[in-house]
């Protein structure tokens, strides 16, 4: 198909497609004539993946680039794939410029204790260890009491989900399909989980706080 059709089918505007082509995120089409290239299903698939990462995952361009590089790197051993694909996803969020230098609350050692408690074996360099330690450190800085037991409850809630997510990764298909599955699973189901938690919070919050005014009225009678 031509670039105009690729745009219609993917829902991505032509200027955006051209931008991705210039940035090297999308491979060039097959040249058919001067100023005319042909695009196939691989292009459509890659375009949808880029859109998923940016629109749903909220990833920035350089993060998308890192993830696509991990997908395309044929030399990466399969058992390292998820880790590396994940590591590429760790965004500027947990800010490198403000490391929890004063780890007085022992946030880092709490992460170690939690992992031991859960029986999780995780690379010492996994960026999520650091993200988690920083979140715990920040909570304590804001005078928020957070114990290992609290963390264990959160960890248990995601343990089965993660196990099932990993179990659904196909062990057939091309290497790039497997990595793509992992990355999509990580990014999009993260968005699913975040949205669901917020919907649940709104429901429970309304149940708790919407009652208030009525109770106040009752007391006044």
**Binding residues among 23-52 for its own copies as defined by CB under 8 A:** 45, 48-49, 51-52
Contact window for its own copies (CB under 8 A) among 25-33, 35-43, 62-70, 159-167: 159-167
Where does residue 144 fall: left (phi above 0), alpha (psi -120 to 50 degrees), or beta otherwise?
beta
Question: In the bound complex, what is the minimum distance in angstroms from residue 36's beta carbon to its own copies?
Answer: 27
**Mask for 70-89, x = binds its own copies (CB under 8 A):** -------xxx-xxx--x---
Question: Phi first, then psi: what are they for 217, rounded to 5°?
Answer: -65, -45
Binding its own copies by CB under 8 A: which of 118, 148, 175, 176? Answer: 118
CB atoms within 10 A of CB 70: 22
Distance separating alpha carbons of residues 41 and 48, to the nearest angstrom: 11
Question: In the bound complex, what is the minimum distance in angstroms from residue 83's beta carbon to its own copies?
Answer: 5
Burial 177-207 (b: 16+ CB within 10 A, else e): ebbbbbbbbbbeeeeeeeeeeeeeeeeeeee
Distance separating alpha carbons of residues 186 and 179, to the nearest angstrom: 10
Q: Does 215 bind its own copies (CB under 8 A)?
A: no
What are the residues whose beta carbons fall under 8 Å from the beta carbon of 28, sequence distance 6 or more? 21, 37
Binding its own copies by CB under 8 A: which of 38, 61, 103, 138? Answer: 138
Binding its own copies by CB under 8 A: which of 54, 76, 103, 148? Answer: 54
Binding its own copies by CB under 8 A: which of 75, 170, 209, 221? Answer: 209
Q: Does 144 bind its own copies (CB under 8 A)?
A: yes
Residue closer to its own copies by CB (options 38, 112) is 112
Q: Does 194 bind its own copies (CB under 8 A)?
A: yes
């Amino acid at each position: 198909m031509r670039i105009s059709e690729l745009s219609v089918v993917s829902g991505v505007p032509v200027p955006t497609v051209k931008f991705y082509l210039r940035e090297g995120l999308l491979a060039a089409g097959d040249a058919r004539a001067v100023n005319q290239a042909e695009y196939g299903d691989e292009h459509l698939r890659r375009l949808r993946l880029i859109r998923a990462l940016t629109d749903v995952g909220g990833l920035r361009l350089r993060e998308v680039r890192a993830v696509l590089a991990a997908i395309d790197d044929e030399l990466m051993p399969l058992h390292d794939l998820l880790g590396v694909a994940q590591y590429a996803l760790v965004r500027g969020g947990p800010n490198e410029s403000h490391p929890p230098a004063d780890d007085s609350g022992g946030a880092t050692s709490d992460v170690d204790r939690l992992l031991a408690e859960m029986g999780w074996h995780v690379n010492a360099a996994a960026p999520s260890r650091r993200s988690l330690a920083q979140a715990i450190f920040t909570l304590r800085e804001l005078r928020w009491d957070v114990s290992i037991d609290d963390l264990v409850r959160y960890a248990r809630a995601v343990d089965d989900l993660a196990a099932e997510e990993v179990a659904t990764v196909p062990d057939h298909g091309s290497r790039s399909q497997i990595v793509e599955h992992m990355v999509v699973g990580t990014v999009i189901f993260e968005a699913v989980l975040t949205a669901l938690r917020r919907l649940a919070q709104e429901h429970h919050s309304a149940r708790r706080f919407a009652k208030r005014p009525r109770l106040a009225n009752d007391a006044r009678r």
